[in-house]
Structure formats: structure tokens, C-alpha cells
Amino acid sequence: MRRILDSGEHRWSVEVVVLAFACASVNDIDAYRLGEVLPGLKLLPTLAIVALSIIAGAATWVITLFIMSWIATPIGRMLGGTGTVADVRAALGWGMTPIIWSQICRIPLVILMSHFHIGSQSNPRQILLDFVAHGGCSIVILIFGFQLLFAIWSFVVGCFTLAEAHRFSAEKGFVNLAIAIALPLLVIASAVFTFRR
């Protein structure tokens, strides 16, 4: 991480986040069922909808990266760090590399789910029974276990990269990242609680 931070202006953090989003979306793309939702849709508009949704999702992740770097930088400085916003953004971006490696479990999930054709005329109960009969529960538990493992791995890598950007210990990197994640969630939760009253 230190070599990336010292490499100059362009650190490829935005590109890593876009690639991480694309890798995280592999098992979410369900374009072949768009015809059931929007009958009469041709191939070119379908591809355009899929491409626009991927671009919009990637842009959302990049905007989130910028917001998180603006939040994590002053928190890190309060903890004694010296990193700039650009350093923190690069650290948070490169902290998402385990999501790219998550293809190890996402591609088998896509292959598995392609065998279950759930259409509007399908019987969901029969599909669920067939899935369970063929070892589906153990596969789901294994996949969720791998997803949790990759999420924890990404958080740990983010703690180390953030600590390197601020030039302090990994423990302070953990505190910095945990506060930077919890702060927006607390603001959103308090806004939802306030508006529900």
C-alpha cells in the first residue's frame, strides 16, 4: 500500500472500486428475465438497460468512496494520522480488492442458479423442494459463509490500508474505519427514526 501511495497522482483507486462493483454484481445480473417483465423488449434495449444499470451502480460505489474518504480523513487526523483525502481514498479503494477475489464463490453461484429457471408459470414450491433435495441448503450456507469471509477480509484489508495512509497502527485503522462506517449509518437511522414519528 505504501508503494501505491508513493506512486504519484493516479493510484487506480476509482478503477479498483469499479472493478469490485462489477465483480460483486456478477450474480445479480438477471438480464435474460427482462423479457418477462417487459414483453416485446429487443436485444439492443436490453443490453442498454443492463449497461446503464451497471454504470449507475458503479457510479454509486465511486460516490460512496469519495464520501467515505471525506468522512475517514478528519477522523483519522483526530486519531493522530497524517493522511490526505487522496491518500485515504486510495487506501479505501484498494481495501476493496477482496471483493474482486470473491469471484471464487460468485461464479459457481451464477452457474448453479442458471440451472433453476424460475418463470412466471413456474411452481415456486416445487423449485424449492428440488433445490433442497439436491443439497441446496448446504450450498446456500457455504456461499453465505464465503460471502461473510470476503466481507470480513475486505474490512481487515481496509483497516490495514487506511492505517498505512494515515501512518498509524492497524488498531487505529480499525477504529477509524469502524467510525467512518458507523457514522453515516447512525445519521441515516436517526433521520428515519425522526421522520417516522
Q: Residue 32: pLDDT above 60?
A: no
179 CB neighbour count, 10 Å cutoff: 16
Per-residue model confidence (pLDDT) at position 104: 75
% of the chain at pLDDT higher than 70: 74
Per-residue model confidence (pLDDT) at position 7: 78
Per-residue model confidence (pLDDT) at position 71: 92
Distance CA 193, CA 185 (A): 12
Distance CA 32, CA 138 (A): 27
The domain of 102 spans 2-196
On whether the CB atoms of residues 31 and 46 are closer than 8 A, the answer is yes
Q: Residue 53: pLDDT above 80?
A: yes
Average pLDDT, whole number, for the chain? 80
pLDDT band, very low/low/confident/very high, at 124 (cuts 50, 70, 90): low
On whether the CB atoms of residues 164 and 1 are closer than 8 A, the answer is yes
On whether the CB atoms of residues 75 and 116 are closer than 8 A, the answer is no
Per-residue model confidence (pLDDT) at position 66: 93
**Looking at residues 65-82, what average pLDDT do you find?**
91
pLDDT band, very low/low/confident/very high, at 38 (cuts 50, 70, 90): low
Specify the higher pLDDT residue, 33 or 168.
168
DSSP secondary structure of 16-79? HHHHHHHHHTTTT--GGGHHHHSTT--HHHHHHHHHHHHHHHHHHHHHHHHHHHHHHHHHHHHT
Per-residue model confidence (pLDDT) at position 174: 93
Number of domains in the chain: 1
pLDDT band, very low/low/confident/very high, at 37 (cuts 50, 70, 90): low
